[in-house]
Amino acid sequence: MDDPNDDADVQAVRTAEDAAPRRPLPVSIAVVLVMVLAGFGVLEGVLVLLARYDETTVAAGLVMAVSLAGAAGILLSLLLGAVAAAVWRGSRAARILVTVFAAAALLLDVITIAGSPADLWWTNLDAVFYLFVIVALWAGRRTAAFFRQGLRARAAVAAAS
């Protein structure tokens, strides 16, 4: 049976979706970049875990420390990817958390670049990516509007459905 209220509900959802601000392109790029960086972080954590079997690591008695570092890297990278997914939906808290993660990673990259005698071009690239993420999540009026009004519009869509 057709319920005449169904059409009104569908129309209310469409109106609320139209009222939601579109995600700015820099925010979309930043979230995809964070997801890629999180994927590389998981890969790096796995490689660190595998380093626990290295003879020099075993001889130095660092198996537990290397194992914990690898596991922590994997878990933090997975957490960063999950939080980035919330940024995609316009979560203010996730935006702040991703910014804190990106700032910490940027600081570690700067320390690595300053203290490393070798040419670590990938660390420089990593630092540039994290700097872009921070700027993209906080610069511009459209970005502010997306995080401010996006949650209200999505709540209206959820309430209407």
Residue 55: what pLDDT?
92
Burial grade of 5 (CB within 10 A; 0-12, 13-18, 19 or more): exposed
Cα 46 to Cα 31, 74, 86, 116: the distances in Å are 23, 7, 25, 23
Residue 115: what pLDDT?
80
Inform me whether the pLDDT recorded for 146 exceeds 70: yes
CA 145 to chain centroid:
19
Residue 11: what pLDDT?
62
Map residue 3 onto helix, strand or coil: coil
Residue 30: what pLDDT?
96
pLDDT in tens, 35-72: 999 999 899 889 989 988 989 888 988 899 889 988 99
Of residues 12 and 161, more confidence is placed in 161
Burial grade of 33 (CB within 10 A; 0-12, 13-18, 19 or more): middle
pLDDT in tens, 107-141: 988 888 888 767 678 888 888 999 999 999 999 99
Question: Tokens representing 151?
Answer: 């949650």
